[in-house]
Structure 1
């Protein structure tokens, strides 16, 4: 629920949001597993999980000529309850956070602007990272979650410049830092068996430079370029040994759209994702590409579209390299990468007026999901 109240020089906004997440799983293995490392004899894994988030916010936007100032704060209360029956583990967490935000904007002749801002972000661990069941699907590489994980508070300072006329260009820099970050750790606990889990052990600092552009080359061709370059420094202690890793990482993305009047629309994407810096090593980078086309029929009521992703690469080979004081490890596997799709849509009518959506609100971008996504090649 959101409410905005405009005034002469200022707009006041306030609102609230309630989010509930319910998760349940009941896994049974038909293959007997010896009782060890916290697993029950049959390898069963049943758990229940409930998360409740209560949020309220209040913000003020002040405009004086070419200046704009935005001040706000958000209060979040979180309650987690989970029961992992296989390991007789219960989770009961309650915590609250007060998150301030500030932004200063200056416009120049209505074609460019500069903005400066500060905000915080709360990231909560996904339940998969907290599940204490030992996954032994790979006989040499076990995975176990950590039920004691805590949320992470990230502090972000930003500075950006925007130019908009025929197209637009946005150049921005961000500096962010966080303590007790959730890091994926590999430990060698038995001979030839590695254990992967997560701990709140890291300190994460990164400096980003990003570029976003959109420019119509002609009436029929539109080009978009997006990219981010980051310097990442992460450190943390694992079993008494201090690890530190840093380096450059980033991504670049190009999108081109070609409209043939009364015939079709064709678009192509090309992206590059660099190797990812992680606490004990790195993962390899990859290239992503796609091609799509759409055609409208029956007075633009019927739309036929199709696309292909990564037409020149059936699989993506993912490689994670881990380096510790006790061992070095290279883990390689393949994911399906090529994808085809065909879509049909039919428009039965149209609205007399478009539906207006509140520009304010609270986004659900709080979960620290599986950190392995970047390492496994999941977009």
Structure 2
């Protein structure tokens, strides 16, 4: 035993001596890695390799401030510093002083060639199926261009963004926009912030044309969910954008983001001025005696706007995040409108005419806020609890002055005034819980309570005996309150090739309206179940199928219910209907995705059956021997719509791409109104072809051609449309700055025209907006990318 003890003791002393000797011969390497602009680079790789065989010896990554420290006992080595997108730097034969190598500040420069190679190698935007949605993964072909979220959306199959920034899905507006699966001040249609998101910030866009029970049953157009990247850039990042355009489209936007380990502070401020000109024509013809009234005019709506977003994410710990954000916007509106009205008798002779001038001013304050708490669960990254409360408040204080000057005939000149005091508040409280188990199964459950409270005070005053007197027949004080409680549950199985998701949603609705002028109340209460079912099957890597069903509802809004008469064109008036009932739609669809060579395609068919379908119907009245057309919405019966959708993207090489969307639908309407049958059939189709060309010197060009066919409604024929958009973009300063030129409606060919015909009247409405040209400069600083602040208006 003593011999064994001494042997072990000597061995331990020998090993300890070797360790001490090695430690004395070790070398410590320190330094800091930064960009050309001096900003630190986090997670850069620092590698020590053998000079003889280039094999790695040791390595580390840089910290938040770009600093690093590591040790080695090797004597023959070199040091290599690298980071994705930057030129690698190698230090041969470094000098050792007192067992330490101090590299000081190591500066890495961006490698534009390497970045280009990343784009070429296949980060191409593509669409894939999930159980109840299509997912458009944003690749480098978009993110490398510095495109805004609006432009990215315009590249998503089935989605279209209009000149004014209005978003439609399969040709239908009223799309519900979400950010990271929930309503957000950024996606609020009353704001201007969506254009501040860039493709670099977007991970994917989920298109839900047939939403499951998890989502609101409201609306038939579907849902678009923008999922942002989990950006880990720390420090101060930001971007500034300056836009100018014809007609007036001038804006300045500044975005700032400060990220630390616990907090992510974000803000965006923008202000500017924009103009929306329009040429307008109407013709109201009495088919019984062939007399008619025509009007020809122009208008320009000018808006000066200010927009501010502030928010923070507070990471309580790795599993709990608290988010608070708010949006304040303010608009000053001024609109000038001029029109010449002429009345002709049955022999086409002018009987009287007058010139109508309108000046409208308005102020629109807007407030939005969001408080959200998200809890993840340890051991399962897909299990989560989300609680949120959002609020949106909007007000409009508007007044209009009308001056009618007789140019022919015996009518006297007339002055009129209108005023509008409008207030809208919307509050939403949500709770969502997701629980996956056994890897392939998931249960979702949750609840939502939404309150809409709207009041509109409108009055018309006539100038009589030297002063303005309110016209009691047109004064309107209308209140609308809607409360909806929803509860849902879904269960899903998703395997490698096949999956299914079933769910049901229950919604209880309370609606109340009050017309204060007559103290007329109209209250409705209804409760409904909304089932849903979705399935998908992956036949191969190049071919997948998806099928889905959901029940939807369209609830009438304020302007659908308010018996308000718009006098802007006194001969053609629009009003609401307080007795209007909601629409209920059963929606079915089957969709496929398949790839052939360099072409990816999406083919789908859908069918929608709607009960209590809403349609605007024109009634004719006579006032002072003048024929007046009044349109209002009514429930006319059932509507059956069958459609086909085809999307294709072709990438012949890395500098050219073509994308084509084709939508066709046929509808059959069966119904009656006041004893008159309103059965009719019609169809509608549209197509969009986009070509993108990458030129040398970081130039990108985009051409988009659009065609929307004419179609008919219950009483009207809507004219077709053909127009083209153009865009050009150039990156400068190694991508830190972007120059952007866009021309919407290049040939000024986009119009809005409807012709309504009844047994004894013919009504034509026509308007044209014209060409919009915008030039923008964006610059990113810190670790921020160059962004675009669009300044677009969302109607």
Global fold match (TM > 0.5): yes
Q: 2:741 aligns with which of 277, 300, 306?
A: 306
Tell which structure's C-alpha radius of gyration is larger.
Answer: 2
Closer/same/farther in 2, CA of residues 200 and 108 from structure 1, 3 Å limit: same
Deviation at 1:279, TM superposition (A): 1.1
Residue 43 (structure 1) aligns with: 474
Secondary structure (helix, strand or coil) at the match of 2:567 reads strand
Distance 1:349 1:73 in 2: 47
Deviation at 1:315, TM superposition (A): 6.3
Deviates more, 1:171-180 or 1:184-193: 184-193
Q: 1:54 aligns with which of 477, 482, 485?
A: 485
Equivalences for 1:1-379 in 2 at 5 Å? 1=386, 2-8=432-438, 9-31=440-462, 40-41=471-472, 43-164=474-595, 166-190=598-622, 192-260=627-695, 262-313=697-748, 316=751, 318-322=753-757, 324=758, 326-350=759-783
Deviates more, 1:299-308 or 1:101-110: 299-308
Unaligned runs of 5+ in 2: 1-385, 387-431, 465-469, 785-793
Deviation at 1:138, TM superposition (A): 2.2
Deviation at 1:80, TM superposition (A): 2.8
Distance 1:123 1:77 in 2: 14
Query: Please, what TM-score do these two structures have when normalized by structure 2?
Result: 0.41
C-alpha contact (below 8 Å) 1:32/1:41 kept by paired residues: no
Q: Which has the higher contact order (CA 8 A, sep 6+)?
A: 2
C-alpha contact (below 8 Å) 1:40/1:86 kept by paired residues: no
Closer/same/farther in 2, CA of residues 315 and 156 from structure 1, 3 Å limit: closer
C-alpha contact (below 8 Å) 2:723/2:749 kept by paired residues: no
Distance 1:271 1:122 in 2: 30
Instruction: Please tell me the root mean square deviation across aligned C-alpha atoms, in Å.
Output: 2.6
Closer/same/farther in 2, CA of residues 125 and 32 from structure 1, 3 Å limit: farther
Distance 1:136 1:193 in 2: 11
Q: Deviations over 1:91-137 (max 9, x none)?
A: 43332321111122221122211222211111122211111122233
Structure 1 runs, 4 residues or longer, greater than 6 Å off: none
C-alpha contact (below 8 Å) 2:459/2:471 kept by paired residues: no
Closer/same/farther in 2, CA of residues 269 and 52 from structure 1, 3 Å limit: farther
Closer/same/farther in 2, CA of residues 98 and 216 from structure 1, 3 Å limit: same
Is the strand fraction higher in 1 or 2? Answer: 1
Deviation at 1:239, TM superposition (A): 2.0
Closer/same/farther in 2, CA of residues 63 and 131 from structure 1, 3 Å limit: same
Deviation at 1:193, TM superposition (A): 1.7
Distance 1:265 1:22 in 2: 47
Instruction: State how many pairs are aligned.
Output: 346
Is the helix fraction higher in 1 or 2? Answer: 2
Distance 2:528 2:779 in 1: 46
Secondary structure (helix, strand or coil) at the match of 2:460 reads coil
Secondary structure (helix, strand or coil) at the match of 1:299 reads helix
Deviation at 1:262, TM superposition (A): 4.4
